[in-house]
Structure 1
Amino acid sequence: MNKKRLFIRSAVAMAVAASSTSALAAGFQLNGQSATGLGRAFAGDAVIADNASVMARNPAAMAMFDSPELSLGVVAIDTDVVVKDAKYGLAAAPESTYTSLADEQIGDTSYVPNLFYIHPINEKFSVGLGIYSNFGTKTEFGNDYAANEFGGLTDLKTVNFGLSGSYRINDQFSIGAGVDYITGSGKLKRSGLLWGDNLLDVDAEGEGFGWNAGVVYELNQDNRFGLSYRNSPDIKADGEMMFMPGFANIGGELIMRLPDIAEFSGFHQLNKQVAVHYSVQWIEWNTFDKLATTNGTELNEYNWQDGWHYSIGGTYTVNQDWTLRAGYMYDTSAQDKDKSISVPDSDRQWLSAGLTYNWSKSANIDLGVTYLMGEDIKVEETNGITSVNATTRANAWLYGIQYSYKF
């Protein structure tokens, strides 16, 4: 009975973590704020300011707009996630007795819309509104997968509503700040041959407020730098948590702090046609050290580590109608010692390309595409009763389209 209680406790903790914290902070981060940024691997995105989506990366960059601008678009994320070479059995038994499982494709296609509007009040002040997402993922194992107490369904979504303002101090310095209201929802289901079809069925929602601030330094017309910081909120998640009968439900709300994010970007226009740009981003994943409720119940501990993004890109202006761009990003994993087959994560590389077509002086269309390459990661998971050992790999194609209009 103690082992069963330990398992249920672990399973509920893992499920709620995925459906509330992962829904809002997942094992990996979405980069889907704009098709323009996608086409250059988001290199320089905290300072380039070539459309209104820049407010998602640095509110100070809104000071570089001299007329109102609207940007709206969508990024499609087509994930190719495989769990392979899996072996499954009783935790107390030697691995030689485990059953080999067929390779399982658990990826899906998700769509991440975005909308931004920047409005200069005068030569000094600008305000902006953004609706976008920073975190989310979806993986789904087949209903007949033997180790579904570790797999199952993980479907996580977030929406960020941002309101920001900027102030131009002088020709070189601009500052900005904003508030964020974040909502998230997650669905997670777990089952298993030893546990039945309804081991775990979680549907949770949460919300919270955060803030962001930034600065831009313009050395001259062709060279500028941006620095921004995003403070993420404490999330209180609540919802239905259905698990094996005979055990008490967990009281209180689940508290989870999203990672803070800091970013430094540079942009250099080398001549009339060629520009280079780069970014370094830090994501404070180590704040996800434990999962606890408002009544003081600690459900689980985690050993995540801070993440880093390093990106570099280039832009080539062909003529007044066409602009081409490309970029590369190296993205480090948030997971360290503790791995999961339900939310595979690894260091990743991004290869990106994109273009802009200016069909008038006021309107343009951006297209971006990225191929994201993950690594093979060995995973060993146990709940004290059953165990699964496997290798995971997560690749993805990202496609973006965006429309921008200057009023």
Structure 2
Amino acid sequence: MKHAWFKTTLALTISAAASNALAGGFALNEQSISGMGSSYAGRSSSADDATTVFGNPAGMSRLKRQEVSVGAAAIVAKTDIKHAKGSSTGSNDGDMVPETGVPMGYYVNPVNEQWTFGVGVYAPFGLITDYERGFQGRKFGDYSEVKVVTVQPTVSFRVNDQLSVGFGPTINRIDGKLESSLGSINPLVPAESRVKIKGDDTALGYNIGVLYEFTPQTRAGVTYHSKVKYKLEGDTTVSGNNAVYSAIGAYGKYDASLDLTTPESVDASFTHDIDDAWTIYAGSTWTRWSRLKEITVENEGVTGLAAGSLSSITEEQNWHDTWGYAVGTAYKLNKEWTVRAGLAFDQSPTNNADRSPRIPTGDRTAVSFGVGWNPTEDLTVDLAYSYLWEEDTKIDQVDTTGTKGSYSSTYENSAHGFGTQVSYRF
């Protein structure tokens, strides 16, 4: 028999804060600062620099010289929590996402007129949410951290003057950590305890892309980013001084594992040079978030009365597939300066029934601005800024079978993104 009081939120790697990433779910968009300036509207078709290794591997065929692009984005998020109520007392400070940096780096080398080699290092997924320890919704989760780092060696092949294809296997390293408070089993022994879960894994995936150039001024691209299947292994630690938890043998450290599949996505976009000054972009992205139906954590070495509740714990997610849309433009002021702007909309994969403080995300809108400076033919410096805001998102969690009680509130999420990138050709 399972003790429902122990069913704490254990979504070790898919719990996402709404304002933690400038993309839907827990996906990150920050793999290109030059693309950030136009809201990534032409991600799979622009192929302007080495960041196309991620955006569309086939786009490397457009680069005629060796090129290195390195950059980083900083995310500054803001969350206001309003109308909070629940069975536990506590604070609702909001702003649970610390300032976060997202680095990236790429190298492209044209081998001959047909073949091009490249490699990229970037972060496709990530989050960190850190509520104050006395957060009112702490029994439903108060700390989550996930980091995914990907290395992608890549090749592209120019089939003819119009068609190019590209492929890159991905080596993906994931690390995750989760913490939350445990409610007391016996109200006469009210001391709360803590559960901490951490794990990591390395797994393989791939990116594949096609770029078709209708004319020298007009091109379209499609990129497929594969799913990646992980088996995270680590440990679960339960600690505290509650006499009831001690009596049933709940306290201790146990080997833990979690099967997780990050979703595949398809990005399609269109780029058109109107004239020597103006360029327009339009694109959309489909992501198969519906793979996240539930999360199950398996713990080994659990004995005593705690075994029934701690050996295997499942939490429903029931995410759904999403679409994102973006439009953007670039204008060359002169030979040295280019300015960019873009508008994007992303759907949220969460649903009203299962949304928790770990995943308080709603549909979002983002506007972006960027500037590119070319002091020489060999060097480009890109700067970009994005601002996103979400619809008001409601949390309404009720634990009817355990001791977590209830928590409900309304989240108002927004975020600022700042990025810089340097590209050098030789």
Q: How does 1:139-288 map to 2 (within 5 A)?
A: 139-191=129-181, 194=184, 196=191, 198-243=193-238, 246-247=249-250, 253-288=257-292
Map Cα deviations across residues 347-390 of structure 1 (whole Å, 9 max, x no partner): 00010000000111101100000001111111111333211011
Q: Measure the CA separation in 1 of the matches of 2:13 and 2:425.
A: 43
Letter in 2 for 1:171: D
Map Cα deviations across residues 272-321 of structure 1 (whole Å, 9 max, x no partner): 10110111101110011122368995622221011211000000001110
Aligned length, in residue pairs = 393
2:4 aligned residue: 6
DSSP 3-state at the match of 1:253? strand
Q: Measure the CA separation in 2 of the matches of 1:196 and 1:178.
A: 52
Pair 1:354 & 2:370 matched: yes
**Equivalent of residue 120 in structure 1, options 107, 110, 114:** 110
* 2:92–2:136 Cα contact (<8 Å) kept: no
DSSP 3-state at the match of 2:138? coil
Quickly say closer, same or farther: Cα 1:298–1:36, change in 2 above 3 A.
Answer: same
Letter in 2 for 1:277: Y
Percent of aligned pairs with the same amino acid? 30
Letter in 1 for 2:283: S
TM-score, structure 1 normalization: 0.90
Q: Measure the CA separation in 1 of the matches of 2:228 and 2:409.
A: 34
Quickly say closer, same or farther: Cα 1:104–1:303, change in 2 above 3 A.
Answer: same
Map Cα deviations across residues 174-207 of structure 1 (whole Å, 9 max, x no partner): 0111100111112222126747564211222122
DSSP 3-state at the match of 1:390? strand
Pair 1:393 & 2:412 matched: yes
Quickly say closer, same or farther: Cα 1:124–1:14, change in 2 above 3 A.
Answer: closer
Letter in 2 for 1:389: S
Quickly say closer, same or farther: Cα 1:16–1:56, change in 2 above 3 A.
Answer: closer
Quickly say closer, same or farther: Cα 1:16–1:400, change in 2 above 3 A.
Answer: closer
TM-score, structure 2 normalization: 0.86
Quickly say closer, same or farther: Cα 1:293–1:287, change in 2 above 3 A.
Answer: same
Quickly say closer, same or farther: Cα 1:16–1:331, change in 2 above 3 A.
Answer: closer
Quote the offset at 1:84 in angstroms.
2.1
Quickly say closer, same or farther: Cα 1:369–1:56, change in 2 above 3 A.
Answer: same
Letter in 2 for 1:402: Q
Map Cα deviations across residues 131-171 of structure 1 (whole Å, 9 max, x no partner): 00111111111112233112311122111111111000000
DSSP 3-state at the match of 2:139? coil
Structure 2 unmatched ranges of 5 or more: 185-189, 240-244, 300-310
Q: Measure the CA separation in 2 of the matches of 1:14 and 1:128.
A: 35
Q: Measure the CA separation in 1 of the matches of 2:90 and 2:234.
A: 36
Structure 1 unmatched ranges of 5 or more: 91-98
